Amino acid sequence: MDNPRYSRSSQTRPEGQNHNPPADTLKMKETQSLHGNTPDHRLRRRKRALWLLSLYLPVLVLPWIFTCIMMFRPVMKPSYINQAAKYSMTDIYAMQRWKTATDILHNIASVLAVPIVSALLAYGAVIYTQRRKAGQDLNIQQMFALADRGWTDTLTLWFALRKPSRKQSSPYLWYGALLILLASIQPPLRQLLVQDETITVIACIDQPVVMMNDDVTCKDPSIWQKVVGYDPEPQSLEICPQNTVIQRTRNKIIDVRPLDIQPHLWREVHEHDKFTPEDQAKDTFQFYYDEEMLPDGVLENRHYFVSSLRSGTTTGVLREHAIRMNTSVECVMDHSFPDHCAGDSPFTTNFTSPVLEVAVCGEGNHERSPWKNSRDKQDINERLWMHMKVNADTIHQVATHKTDLPSAKNFTMRCDATSTRGWFELGNYQNEYSYQPVLGVWPSPEAMETNFNDIGTSLEESPWPINEELSDGFTPYKTEDAVDPFSTFDLQTPGPLLSAALALFGNGSFLHSAREATKGQKKQTTMQICQHSLIPFMSYDEFNDRGHEMLKNRCEFVYYLDDDEDTEALYLPELVGGFMQMLDSPLAAKQLLELTAFFANEALLVTTAEAYSKSSREIYTSPGYTILKPQKSIPGLIVITFLICLQVAGLLVLARFIYSAPSWTSMFDAKTLARIGAQLRDQGKELDNVYVSGVVGIGEREELHKPRGAGPPIRKRVRILALGEPGNISTSSACESLC
């Protein structure tokens, strides 16, 4: 065959023959014809579909890849949170720009999805209507459904599904409908399943002191942070003077009430507990000790501790630690008071009179601190003995007025205290603003540098606080300005239980005043104790009612005291006995000693923290910088990734199909459909006839060609494109038509 060309179909009548006219054809010529001389008039592969696919796939896939990355970390950065504050504001702005660019690409993909996929399907529809193999079946109605882009028309799809008699349905129509469905539902599903969330990041300007970035935006690190408190150092706690702590403790226990707000009272948390700052602020003792307001067993799970910082203090995006101390006491009745008070320097005191004997023994060393110079968690145990005995017979002999002292309860009690000191992480953005349990071991210097924002004092060489600090002899306490009537300034503060015993029974206490009163001063001493409110817990009405009643009766009639020697002998014993009756049960003693130990711990921590700012660590807070990021959603990630992969696979299959064979036209435009309609008209076939073939194939016809000159017409066979023709359209047929 010599380079055949497509030409218009004609009804040829060879001489001596009479046959039916051949079908009208859709033909292509190399020379100028009715169809013009354009590239679309030849069998060839169209590059436009490839360009559209190359445009759409990156816009579809890349923003989703960026979105998946930004669910877990920023693009080009290992994590959103760099606790060492190595990110500059330039880095933060870059994170925002990546998010904005990704959103723009998502919006572009959403706008382009249906038009581009539909256009690609239109290119594929031309290939689908061409004959690719023998026996290919496609009627004219199915062809027109594809030409009308029925995959985007709900009515066409409805008729194809519900009215099969109309013969509009075809596999390609439903394949196109599936691709359009994937392209149209993916954007709204992505917005529904993968929503944006705010995340607060830490920048270099949040870090209090240590700078890790030379960016110009990091030059002023003090824009956002502020100091929220001070944390005492272990070596300063070790040398805190005893007299200051004991005096502050005594002042607190004299007028404490159950509903008083305690700013340094923190609720104990366990490893998996999460409290909001509002829940944490259970800052009255009634919350922990009022049994009438709570069901049985609830109080056993309520514990508290003290810190130098106010309860509920948070540090924003910074991760910092603060000291904490807590003491729990358990008391039991015992048979005998020890003859010898154990310890290197135990605390002992007593009150002795003919009618009352009181003895106190605090085992251990009341002149030195029991804590090690370390930030690791420490536990210490202490023991306190209390004894009271009333001589009722002597009282009846000397009493000239009614007294409640004979009804007082004799007891010997042993109280054991367990105290814990350590550091805990304050509430911050990383732990959802819930402070953490006490640390067992202080973090290593490497961990402090990379994971936390604690800073050392100005007196330390290390920029971060270390576990153990060597004392350099510096003391933040001014000894020359101290009022020290008992010469105890040089004594260290002992453990919490011994400190509580010193505040209740030691130098300067009302028991000390009662014991030191001489024979002629007992009435005056009694009046001073009552008038100056020197008796602890008189305003705290949660303890023994009998003890409160005894103290109340004695102090209310203090102005009417007699000067009789025998009567005077009962004044101070009634006060001392009344106070000891507040401790006559293990539960009452436990609560009173725990409260006193709390105030002793508070006085120790706050006094040390506030003594000298350079010897205490500053605790900072900073709000950080809030940015938007895709919310981490594993179901959303799986669903959208599956839909995008399915759509990409479908488009790649479609592209392979489009380029599997050359096409006679780019798509079914108006001009192409007009040619098809003209052919059907010439054939006398109806458009609604479902038996009319809609497959375009290659056929052959004979035509008469008049040669140049005066020679007779010659017959010549030409290759044509026509509906229903049996020849396959393939690469080889395109080559034959163009070579």
What per-residue confidence (pLDDT) applies to 22?
Answer: 39
- Which structure tokens are listed for 50? 């490839």
A 10 A CB-CB count for 253 gives 23
> pTM of the predicted model, to two decimals?
0.78
Could you state, in chain order, the average pLDDT of each consecutive group of 10 residues for the chain (739 residues)? 36 36 39 33 77 94 96 93 88 95 96 94 88 81 84 85 74 92 94 94 82 74 79 91 93 92 88 55 80 56 90 94 97 95 96 93 96 95 96 75 78 98 95 93 92 82 70 58 72 96 94 84 84 86 70 74 64 89 92 97 95 83 93 94 96 91 79 77 68 76 70 73 75 54
Q: Give me the pLDDT at residue 277, please.
A: 53
Listed in sequence order, the residues at least 6 apart from 399 whose beta carbon sits closer than 8 Å to its beta carbon are 566, 567, 570
- The values of phi and psi at residue 185, to 5°, are -90, -20
d(C-alpha 433, C-alpha 436), whole Å: 9
98/102 Cα distance (integer angstroms): 6
Three-state secondary structure string covering 509-556: CHHHHHHHCCHHHHHHHHHHHHHCCCCCCCCCCCCCHHHHHHHHHHHH
Backbone phi, psi, residue 314, to 5°: -125, 160
CA distance 30 to 477: 107
Which phi and psi (to 5°) does residue 275 adopt?
-115, 140
Cα separation of the two ends of the chain: 11
Q: What is the pLDDT of residues 445-459, one digit of tens each?
A: 899 989 999 988 876
- Cβ contact 403:292 at 8 Å: no
Among 386, 388, 384, smallest CA distance to 343 is for 384
Q: What is the pLDDT of residue 6?
A: 36
* Alpha-carbon separation of residue 702 from 21, 23, 142, 720, 721 (angstroms): 11, 12, 31, 10, 14
Return the SS3 of 157. helix
DSSP readout, 627-693? EEEE---HHHHHHHHHHHHHHHHHHHHHHHHHTTS-BSSSS--HHHHHHHHHHHHHHT--TT-TTSB
Instruction: Report which of 420, 421, 488 is spatially closest to residue 240, judged by C-alpha positions.
Output: 488
61-73 burial, b if ≥16 CB within 10 A, otherwise e? bebbebbbbbbee
Amino acid at 41: H
Residues 509 and 503 sit within 8 Å (Cβ to Cβ): yes
Alpha-helical regions (H) of 34-83: 48-72
- Secondary structure letter of residue 582 according to DSSP: T
- Going from N- to C-terminal start, the domains of the chain cover 1-44+697-739, 226-621
From CA 324, how far away is CA 264, in angstroms rounded?
Answer: 10
User: Nearest 5°: phi and psi at 162?
Assistant: -95, -20
Mean pLDDT rounded to a whole number for the chain: 82
Tens digits of residue pLDDT in 401-441? 667 787 788 999 999 999 999 999 999 999 999 999 999 99
CA 177, CA 622: separation in Å to the nearest integer? Answer: 54
Q: Could you tell me how far CA 202 lies from the centroid of its own chain?
A: 14
Q: CA–CA distance from 241 to each of 72, 250, 500 (Å)? A: 52, 15, 15
What are the tokens at 515? 């014991």
Per DSSP bridges, beta strands 196-201 and 226-232 are: unpaired
**DSSP conformational letter for 54:** H
pLDDT in tens, 652-668: 999 999 888 887 777 78
Which residue has 């599997």 as its token pair? 660
Residue with tokens 């001014």: 478
Return the pLDDT at 417: 98
CA distance readout (Å), 293 to 269, 297, 586? 21, 12, 21
Q: Tell me what pLDDT residue 647 has.
A: 96
Which secondary-structure segment (H or E) carries 180?
A: helix 171-193
